[in-house]
Amino acid sequence: MSERSERPGKGASSRSDRPSEARAGSNSPVIVLVGPPGSGKSTVGRALAERLGVGFRDTDADIEALAGKPIPEIFIDEGEPHFRDLEVRAVRAAATGHDGVLALGGGAVMAEATRALLRELAVVFLEVPLGDAVKRVGLDAPRPLLAVNPRARWRELMEARRPLYLEVATAVVDTAGRTPEQVADAVLEALELKTPHE
């Protein structure tokens, strides 16, 4: 954590050695959101896109469109390795062809190819405690990796993924007890981005 410096906003920190502004004329995302299930990536992403006047894209939705079926069915029918292959393709396409706000699936950072792509982008890790994640997604949501003993599995996933989220993060924003609008404010502040209305 020593490589991140605190920004003025409560619950937000940022790495000074990473890009913090959108590149003019770039075909890469203005902001990429990463984090575990229940961190609010899609909800916060849509709020950020609206404020910035850009499009929103979610790689989980891209994968479902590519496969022609919901993610749980991909896991059941073809297995997790096939899903992860689709995910790498979807992230690559979005990271090089979308200039708005991009939300990645919780496990996307597991692939080295994805982490390599993210190193040059403004990536925000939305950190969320288990209690808040459970309230947001519920324990009966169709999330294949959380199907059996969701609380214990969520903790295991976070132990494996948290170092990878931190590796790719330009900034970390704590979502605990915050509304999506407050999280969006903290993201903009952490990245020092201004909305068109400011």
Closest by CA to 153, choosing from 177, 171, 137, 169, is: 137
pLDDT tens per residue across span 168-182: 999 999 999 899 999
pLDDT tens per residue across span 70-121: 998 998 899 989 999 999 999 999 999 999 999 999 999 999 999 999 999 9
pLDDT tens per residue across span 118-132: 999 999 999 988 777
Q: How far apart are CA 146 and CA 158, in angstroms?
A: 12
Strand, helix or coil for residue 77: helix
Q: How far apart are CA 15 and CA 7, in angstroms?
A: 10
Per-residue confidence (pLDDT) for residue 136, from 0 to 100: 61
Per-residue confidence (pLDDT) for residue 198, from 0 to 100: 61
Rounded to the nearest 10 degrees, what angle do helices 71-78 and 59-67 cross at?
A: 50
Q: Are 107 and 84 in contact (CB under 8 A)?
A: yes
| Higher pLDDT among residues 38 and 49, named by residue | 49
Lowest-pLDDT range, 13-22, 60-69, 126-135, 162-171?
13-22
